């Protein structure tokens, strides 16, 4: 196909969320010899631009069926296709806004000066995440998983220090193993279906010979295990608390998205390719995750542990909704997903500021001497806590209402309701304890050595930005839910996806120079 340049550029906007950070990353790398400010500028600028691109793509996606984009002009399923649909666009937008907030926060708090190559790696991180959301090819998904993983290794180790390194080793090894499993599942699937394209695999998987089905499902379930590992689903959540609570809180804030990558992959592959085989497993695991996550909040001794376990718990809530695998459940999940991500990010960024401004106690949940800027932080912490616990007036409350509402039809409704509501109470108690101890209970013992950064209120801007996003998600809950309902319908409409992606795949179109056999 030879489009006019402008049409082609417009079409290629789909690939922008991948190409832009890649170029930004390399630029930041090449110019790193100049003053650091350059790298920071490039990084922030790129994330800001990504927000705009994501918005454009969201609008485009909401107006049309899933749109494939054939990389190298090789038609699906033979080449790699990116697929832009409402789900992908939704995730891209989320990634870009959180990325923007964290990049800015890192620059404002000079976190990026605490080690080498922060901004390049940060951009590559976004590249990996965006790619994972966009690709319609299973092996390409693996590649992007690797990109985002290795970048995450770089970020999680950023700044180093003994505790961070030791937990880093664990994080890396566990995820290496996860990648290995990914390849096992992928290999089996290719061996049985002879394809890598998701849509094609869905089509072929549906008409497999009875004898091949076992292998097919085995491969699929191994993949789901890998996704569950990313999503920190019980019992594969063991890696998260340590990793997230020992890295720089700002990095952990960005990583709030990582668990969602796992959730996304489950949403993307399960209804499309593997069908309902995973359902009986997912729901109990998700419920267990909620319980353990919020119990962990109660047990937490530091604010970072608190946030990390809160992340686990809320992701569990999200997965419960996903595990319903019906329109309402998915719609609820997709509304709750950005909320919980932003809430967790907000909490982590706030904790980062607390650690900086509070002094020697760092993030320990213990009384502190009064410190400057405390009231602002208290407000942010309250907001983050309210959001994470799903209390009004923030969007988490609607998210929970939607999930409970959707769960009514489930045969396990009683369980779901019980767990979600009771754990919310536990979360409230945990947050109230932590908050009142840190901000209300003062211990003005003089002999504490002072090592505090003077509070620079500008550093709180990213937090306020995230809070504003939550408020927006609340005020515009109507449009948002309408969008997620549409998205859920689109995700569950398998024929539509196949039609859109494979449309002309039966007659392989010749590529650029048009001299195919």
Partner 1 sequence: MSMEFLIATAIGALTWAGIYLSLRGRTFPVVLGVTMLSYAINLFLFAIGRLKVGAPPIFSEEAATYTDPLPQALVLTAIVISFGMSALVVVLSLRTFLETGTDQVDGEPDPAIDPLDGDRDEWIKRRNAHRIDMLGETRP
Partner 2 sequence: MHLVLIAVLPFIGCLLLAAGGRLSRNAQTLVALAPVLAGLWFLGGTAPDILSGSVQSFRAEWVPALDLAFSLRLDGLAFLFTGLILGIGLLIVIYARFYLPGDEALGRFLSLLLLFQGAMVGISLSGNILLLLVFWELTSLSSFLLIGFRSGKAEGRQGARMALAVTGGGGLALIAGLLLLGHIAGTYELGALLARGETIQASPLYPAALILILLGCFTKSAQFPFHFWLPHAMAAPTPVSAYLHSATMVKAGVFLMARLWPVLAGTETWFYLVATTGLVTMLLAAVVGFFKQDLKGILAYSTVSHLGLMTMLLGFGTPGAAMAALFHLLNHALFKAALFMNAGIVDHEAGTRDIRKLGGLATLMPITATLGIVAAASMAGLPPLGGFLSKEMMLEEAAHTVWSGQDWLLPMLAVLAAAFSVAYSLRYIFHLYLGPKRESYPAKPHDPPLGLWAPSALLVVLTILVGLAPNTLTHALMVPAIDAVTGGRAPTFHPALWHGLTPALGMSVVAVAAGAFLLWRHTGLQRGWDVANLPDGKALFESLVERLVDAARIVSDAIHNGSLQRQLAVLFALAIALGAYGMIEGGYTPGTHETLPAHPVAIVAWLLLLSGIAAVLVAQQQRFLTLVFISVIGLVVSLAFVYLSAPDLALTQISVETVTILLMLLALNLLPKKPSRLSSMPLRLRDALIGLAGGGAVGFAAWAVMTREPNDPISTYHWENSVSGGGGHNVVNVTLVDFRGFDTFGEITVLGIAALTIFAMLQPAARGAAGQRLRAWIAELPRSPERHPMMFAVAARVLLPLATIVAIYIFLRGHNAPGGGFIAGLVASIAMLVQYMASGFEWTDARRRIDEHLLIGLGVTIAALTGLGSLIFGAPLFTSAFGHFHLPLLGDFELASAMAFDVGVGMTVIGAVMLALAELSHIAVRANKEDTGTKAAEAGPMDIDPARLRETNGETPA
Expressed in percent and rounded to 5, the helix, strand and coil fractions of the chain are: 75, 5, 20
Alpha helices for 157-248 (secondary structure H): 162-193, 198-206, 210-230, 239-246
Question: Could you say which of partner 1, partner 2, none residue 361 binds, taking C-beta under 5 to 8 angstroms by partner kind?
Answer: partner 1
Question: Could you say which of partner 2, partner 1, none residue 478 binds, taking C-beta under 5 to 8 angstroms by partner kind?
Answer: partner 2
- What distance in Å separates the CA atoms of residue 155 and residue 28, rounded to the nearest whole number? 15
Shorter beta-carbon distance to partner 1: residue 364 or 496: 364
Shorter beta-carbon distance to partner 1: residue 103 or 480: 103
Question: Could you say which of partner 2, partner 1, none residue 287 binds, taking C-beta under 5 to 8 angstroms by partner kind?
Answer: none
Shorter beta-carbon distance to partner 2: residue 91 or 416: 416
Degrees to nearest 5, angle at CA 79 with 75 and 83: 75
- What distance in Å separates the CA atoms of residue 300 and residue 306, rounded to the nearest whole number? 5
Find the shortest distance in angstroms from Cβ 273 to partner 2: 13
Question: Could you say which of partner 2, partner 1, none residue 464 binds, taking C-beta under 5 to 8 angstroms by partner kind?
Answer: none
- What distance in Å separates the CA atoms of residue 248 and residue 511, rounded to the nearest whole number? 47
Judge whether 388 and 316 are in contact, CB under 8 Å: no
Question: Could you say which of partner 1, partner 2, none residue 121 binds, taking C-beta under 5 to 8 angstroms by partner kind?
Answer: partner 2
- What distance in Å separates the CA atoms of residue 155 and residue 263, rounded to the nearest whole number? 21
Shorter beta-carbon distance to partner 2: residue 176 or 448: 176
Find the shortest distance in angstroms from Cβ 155 to partner 2: 9
Report the run of H or E that residue 68 belongs to, with start and end: strand 67-70
Report the run of H or E that residue 287 belongs to, with start and end: helix 279-299
Question: Could you say which of partner 2, partner 1, none residue 508 binds, taking C-beta under 5 to 8 angstroms by partner kind?
Answer: partner 2
Find the shortest distance in angstroms from Cβ 172 to partner 1: 5
Report the run of H or E that residue 69 belongs to, with start and end: strand 67-70
Find the shortest distance in angstroms from Cβ 362 to partner 1: 4
| Beta-bridge partners for 82 | 69, 135
Q: Residue numbers of the site for partner 1 (CB under 8 A)? A: 111, 114-115, 139, 143, 146, 150, 153, 157-170, 172-173, 176-177, 179-180, 183-184, 186-188, 190-191, 196, 242, 246, 248-249, 301-302, 304-305, 355-356, 360-364, 366, 443, 447-449, 451
Shorter beta-carbon distance to partner 1: residue 85 or 112: 112
Report the run of H or E that residue 84 belongs to, with start and end: strand 81-84
Shorter beta-carbon distance to partner 1: residue 184 or 218: 184
DSSP state of 360: T
């Amino acid at each position: 196909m030879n489009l006019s340049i402008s049409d082609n550029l417009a079409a290629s906007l789909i690939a922008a969320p991948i190409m832009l950070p890649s170029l930004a990353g390399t630029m930041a790398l090449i110019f790193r010899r100049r003053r650091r400010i350059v790298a920071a500028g490039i990084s922030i600028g790129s994330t800001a631009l990504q927000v705009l691109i994501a918005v454009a793509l969201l609008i485009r996606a909401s107006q049309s069926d899933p749109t494939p984009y054939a990389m190298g002009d090789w038609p699906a399923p033979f080449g790699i296709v990116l697929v832009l649909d409402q789900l992908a666009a939704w995730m891209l937008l989320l990634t870009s806004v959180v990325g923007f907030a964290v990049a800015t926060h890192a620059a404002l708090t000079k976190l990026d000066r605490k080690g080498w190559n922060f901004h390049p790696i940060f951009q590559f991180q976004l590249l990996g995440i965006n790619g994972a959301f966009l690709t319609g090819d299973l092996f390409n998904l693996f590649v992007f998983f690797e990109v985002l993983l290795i970048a995450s290794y770089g970020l999680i180790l950023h700044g180093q220090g003994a505790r961070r390194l030791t937990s880093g080793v664990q994080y890396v090894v566990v995820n290496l193993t996860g990648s290995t499993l990914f390849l096992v599942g992928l290999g089996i699937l290719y061996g049985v279906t002879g394809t890598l394209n998701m849509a094609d695999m869905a089509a072929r998987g549906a008409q497999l010979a009875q004898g091949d089905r076992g292998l097919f499902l085995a491969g699929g379930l191994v993949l789901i295990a890998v996704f569950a590992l990313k999503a920190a689903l019980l019992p594969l959540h063991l890696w998260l608390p340590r990793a997230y609570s020992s890295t720089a809180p700002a990095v952990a804030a960005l990583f709030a998205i990582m668990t969602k990558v796992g959730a996304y992959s489950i949403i993307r592959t399960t209804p499309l390719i593997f069908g309902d085989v995973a359902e009986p497993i997912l729901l109990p695991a998700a419920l267990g995750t909620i319980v353990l996550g919020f119990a962990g909040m109660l047990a937490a001794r530091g604010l970072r542990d608190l946030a990390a376990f809160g992340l686990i718990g809320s992701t569990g809530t999200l997965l419960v909704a996903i595990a319903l695998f019906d329109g309402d459940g998915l719609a609820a999940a997709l509304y709750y997903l950005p909320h919980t991500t932003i809430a967790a990010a907000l909490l982590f960024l706030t904790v980062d500021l607390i650690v900086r401004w509070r002094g020697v106690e760092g993030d320990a949940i213990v009384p502190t001497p009064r410190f400057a800027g405390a009231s602002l932080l208290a407000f942010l912490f309250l907001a983050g806590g309210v959001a994470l616990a799903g209390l009004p007036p923030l969007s988490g409350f609607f998210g929970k209402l939607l999930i409970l509402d959707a769960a009514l039809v489930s045969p396990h409704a009683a369980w779901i309701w019980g767990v979600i509501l009771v754990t919310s109470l536990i979360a409230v108690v945990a947050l109230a304890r932590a908050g009142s101890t840190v901000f209300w209970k003062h211990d003005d013992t003089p002999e504490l050595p002072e090592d505090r950064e003077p509070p620079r209120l500008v550093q709180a801007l990213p937090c306020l930005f995230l809070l504003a996003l939550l408020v927006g998600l609340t005020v515009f809950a109507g449009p948002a839910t309408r969008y997620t309902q549409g998205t859920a319908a689109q995700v569950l409409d398998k024929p539509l996806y196949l039609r859109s992606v494979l449309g002309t795949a039966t007659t392989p179109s010749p590529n650029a120079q048009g001299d195919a056999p």
